[in-house]
Amino acid sequence: MSSRKLDQLYRQVIMDHYKNPRNNGTLDDESVTIDLNNPTCGDEIHLHLKMENQMITDAKFTGSGCSISMASASMMTESIIGKSEKEALKMSRDFSEMVQGHEHDIVDENGDVEALAGVAKFPARIKCATLSWKAMERAIFEFEGSK
């Protein structure tokens, strides 16, 4: 597949997650909720994670922001449900390396996350793409710290 067709496919995947976000909503009081914003562009995320036995059993988000930020949140929640906290944190590190254009492991072999690799060409958008992932990291650390 040509680079141009691949870029077009990735744009379609990103826009699909933006227009039809997966896991959009909230969870009950048993979840950890983290609110983060990107003051540079106004993106904001309210991430809700439910964790049991060091596993992420559910994830939902609400918020507002650009297509990259909201698509990334949709992709992230879809990819971490059913993963251990350790796996999710590794995915977050790999995602951060990917959007910065560095060598990285595949973030999620079964998902759409790799579509955001092109963000590396636009450094101003890296914070947009990583906002939900940073919220997930903080939620895991807060949950572990509350035990």
* Higher pLDDT pick, 143 / 4: 143
Amino acid identity, position 11? R
Q: How far apart are CA 76 and CA 113, in angstroms?
A: 7
Q: At what angle do helices 3-19 and 67-80 cross, to 10 degrees?
A: 80
Residue 104 has pLDDT above 70, yes or no: yes
Per CATH, the architecture of 3-146 is what?
Alpha-Beta Complex (3.90)
Looking at residues 11-27, what average pLDDT do you find?
Answer: 95
- Please tell me the distance from the alpha carbon of residue 54 to that of residue 85, in angstroms, as a whole number: 6
The pTM of this model reads: 0.93
CB-facing half-sphere around the CA of 65: CA atoms within 13 A: 30
Mean of the per-residue pLDDT values of the chain: 92
CA distances, 116 to each of 71, 96, 121, 145 (Å) = 9, 10, 10, 31
Helix (H) or strand (E) holding 56: strand 55-64
- State the DSSP H helix or E strand holding residue 109, giving kind and residue range, or none if neither: none
Residue carrying the six token digits 């904001």:
44
